[in-house]
Homo-oligomer: A and B are copies of this chain.
Amino acid sequence: MVTIGDVARAAGVSRSTVSYALSGNRPISLETRERISAAIRELGFTPNAGARALATSQTKVIGLLVQFFSDEFSPAMLQYVLPISDAARDAGYDILMVTEKDGPRALKRITDSNMVDGVILLNVAHDDPRVDPLRGSGKPGALVGLPRSTGGLDIFDLDFGEAARMIIDHLHALGHREITLISPHEHVISRGGAYAWRFRDAALERAARYGLRIHARYGEVQQPAVGAALNAVLDEWPSSTALVIHNDAMIAGLPSVLSARSVRVPEDLSVVGIFSEDFGRLFSLPYTAIETSPDKLGRAAVRALVERMQDPEAAGEPVVRFIAPELTDRGSTGPTPGTPL
């Protein structure tokens, strides 16, 4: 392996001069700089990451803790991971991706051993066991997902409450008076996936204010339960004129159920979902939906974390930021069936 000493010898300067030329931390004469670059090029020198980390206490690596639950639909995760990885690279960081089941333990390992300069937690639950260890790690951290306690970390999430209100407002304005709402799987609630009840509670409250009838139930995650649950819902409340689905698996399974039942959207039924554009494209979903913006959330987390890693003072107080939901109209909502034009 070629070291900074080899470069120094080839360029006829000291190792410190090479180091300063590399970092730009002090002025180097043009001539010296050129001799050094030439030597670096010829020898093919790349600084040793471990040595650099040891000397600077900086690894230029971000730890990314992902978490998969069997009660969630998997393809969603990649939509967060890729933008995070790209944004990190743009900022000069690499990603150490950890999928270990025991999140707190993994967190302790990578922070205590100084493998990373900071950590991003994905898919954060209300009582997420990773949050406290992250706070105690002494490393800056950014979360995607809202935990119960919010101090000390930069937190980003979609405003699920506002998303629910937007959807209810939208349907109410179209004249709908009876709505069926499908939430994530019940397990998501019981293990503390706060997005589930944040959306649900806000939808129920808003509907109540308008005096709308709303039928709420939990959804499934796997076939054939998904199809059965959709059919059950449609059978049970045939007078509902709108279907709001906050559940990836259920909305992905909806087109085939509706086509089998010859239900026309939006003529017979209005449908609104909550999913990202990419997800919609993947499953060819022709439904109006609140955009979940995984790329925005991921990039915001990286940006905040990078600032805090580079200059903890300048970064100021940690923020809790909700991304404003946007309704993407794909034409799947219309006036209540029977409404005169």
Chain A positions within 8 Å of B, measured between CB atoms, are 1, 44, 46-54, 59, 61, 64, 68, 73-75, 77-78, 81-82, 85-86, 89, 94-100, 108-110, 112-115, 222-224, 226-227, 252-253, 255-256, 259-260, 278, 281-284
B contact residues around A282 at 8 Å (CB)? 73-75
Number of identical monomers bound together in the oligomeric complex: 2
Q: A83 — nearest CB in chain B belongs to which residue?
A: B99
Question: Is B113 within 8 A of A48, CB to CB?
Answer: yes
Given contacts A53-B53, A68-B82, 6 further A-B contacts (CB under 8 A): A44-B112, A47-B113, A48-B113, A50-B54, A86-B99, A223-B281
Q: A79 — nearest CB in chain B belongs to which residue?
A: B74
A255 vs B52: C-alpha distance when bound (angstroms): 55
Q: Check A51/B54 contact, CB under 8 A, given A89-B100, A95-B97, A255-B256.
A: yes
Question: Is B281 within 8 A of A61, CB to CB?
Answer: no
A64 vs B97: C-alpha distance when bound (angstroms): 10
Contacting residue for A78 out of B1, B61, B78, B100, CB 8 A: B78
A25 vs B259: C-alpha distance when bound (angstroms): 67
B contact residues around A278 at 8 Å (CB)? 74
Most buried by B among A113, A226, A256: A113
Shortest C-beta distance, A165 to chain B (Å), equals 31
B contact residues around A74 at 8 Å (CB)? 75, 78, 278, 282
B contact residues around A44 at 8 Å (CB)? 112
Top 4 closest pairs, chain A to chain B, by CB: A50-B53, A46-B112, A223-B284, A75-B75
B contact residues around A98 at 8 Å (CB)? 85, 89, 94-95
A255 vs B73: C-alpha distance when bound (angstroms): 20
Question: Is A227 within 8 A of B284, CB to CB?
Answer: yes
Q: A61 — nearest CB in chain B belongs to which residue?
A: B96
